Amino acid sequence: MTIRQLPDTLINQIAAGEVVERPASVVKELVENALDAGARRVDIDLEEGGVRLIRIRDDGAGIEPSELPLAVSRHATSKIASLDDLEGVSTLGFRGEALPSIASVSRFALISRRKDAEHGASLEIEGGRIGTVTPKPHPQGTTVEVRDLFFNVPARRKFLKAERTELGHIEEWLRQLALARPDVELRVSHNGKPSRRWKGEGDLLSELRLHEALGEEFARQALHVDHSGAGLRLHGWIGQPAYNRASADQQYFYVNGRAVRDRSVAHAVKQAYADVLFHGRQPAYVLFLELDPRRVDVNVHPAKHEVRFRDARLIHDFVYRTLQAALAETRAGVEPAIAG
């Protein structure tokens, strides 16, 4: 048997297997990049559930023309430079993998202009083959265009679902994001028609976003939670026991602004509701945990859906006690913190 070094394109396509599952994962990575670049507004244009086209345009910091090839190179990132940075990372991205992975399985274009630059520049890649940087007009910020996702990976393409299903996954992910960033405006269009607009109303109106994202029924009865201690802060909204669901479809949990799934935290929430919820029913919640980034490892999985807490037990108990106290107050007949 001969051992050989794999070509870059194939390496990127292998990495894409982990990061790019479907159009929604592309949207996630690209919008996260826009947020990391300080965007205030992000436009998301989709065709055919994102399979035919995903175009994400932001008004963030932009990229130098000379750095465009680096942006699409593997393990190239502007977000960390050392292990110390990694351990305290506060940006959504840091692996330097998304753009090269996505570019290796699509017809890809990156167009950008930095704030004070005279003009923008563009770089096109088709199935991993990199073109040359050419000048191109562009307002300040960045556009990434991803066409024909998986056109060169038939095995992956086969697993894509109907347009409506893929669009549903994208919308669900955007809802997750919109809940965490009420300060950013998101405009979505599908097949040329505006389909959703999340107005960037600022933090004060995050309750409005809650209303838009989870519906009036949830917002009307939700209990506002905001509790700090031991260097932890848990805030957000939880549904009263009477507002319960057949499935876990309205459970949103964020660590330092990143949506994650965490079994220990899910368990703590379940415990807090154990006495007040009918068996088999699920609570609804939108909860944000804030803590020193050094107390949580976000580098657990390429897609970053999971984190590892340094003191998992402490966090479990903190979440449990905070929610239990909030729920006990409602039982005692105390006015909920927000209602109406």
Q: What residues make contact with ligand ADP under the rule CB under 6 A?
A: 29, 33-34, 37, 58, 60-63, 71, 77-79, 93-99, 142
| Partner from Mg ion, ligand ADP, none binding residue 122, C-beta < 5-8 Å depending on class | none
Q: Report the distance separating Cα 177 and Cα 171, nearest Å.
A: 10
Binding mask 93-112 for Mg ion (x = CB under 5 A): x----x--------------
Q: Report the distance separating Cα 16 and Cα 14, nearest Å.
A: 5
Q: Report the distance separating Cα 54 and Cα 160, nearest Å.
A: 15
- Judged by beta carbon, residue 80 or residue 268, the one nearer ligand ADP is 80
- Judged by beta carbon, residue 20 or residue 287, the one nearer ligand ADP is 20
Q: Which stretch binds Mg ion (CB under 5 A): 85-93, 187-195, 203-211, 220-228?
A: 85-93
- Reduce the DSSP state of residue 274 to 3 states and report it: coil
| CB count in 10 Å sphere of residue 200 | 19
- Judged by beta carbon, residue 33 or residue 206, the one nearer ligand ADP is 33
Which residue lies nearest Mg ion, judged by its C-beta? 93
- Judged by beta carbon, residue 62 or residue 200, the one nearer ligand ADP is 62
Count of residues touching Mg ion (by CB under 5 A): 3
Q: How far is the CB of 35 from ligand ADP (least distance, A)?
A: 9
- Reduce the DSSP state of residue 28 to 3 states and report it: helix
Residues 9-48 that bind Mg ion (CB under 5 A): 33
Asked if 258 and 304 count as a contact pair (C-beta separation under 8 A), the reply is yes
Q: How far is the CB of 279 from ligand ADP (least distance, A)?
A: 43
Q: How far is the CB of 29 from Mg ion (least distance, A)?
A: 5
- Distance, first Cα to last Cα, the chain: 70
Residues 122-141 that bind Mg ion (CB under 5 A): none
Q: Report the distance separating Cα 340 and Cα 334, nearest Å.
A: 15
Q: Report the distance separating Cα 209 and Cα 230, nearest Å.
A: 29
Residues 144-203 that bind Mg ion (CB under 5 A): none
Asked if 243 and 218 count as a contact pair (C-beta separation under 8 A), the reply is yes
C-alpha distance from residue 136 to each of 58, 100, 139 (Å)? 16, 21, 10
Q: How far is the CB of 240 from ligand ADP (least distance, A)?
A: 39
Interacting residues toward Mg ion by CB under 5 A: 33, 93, 98
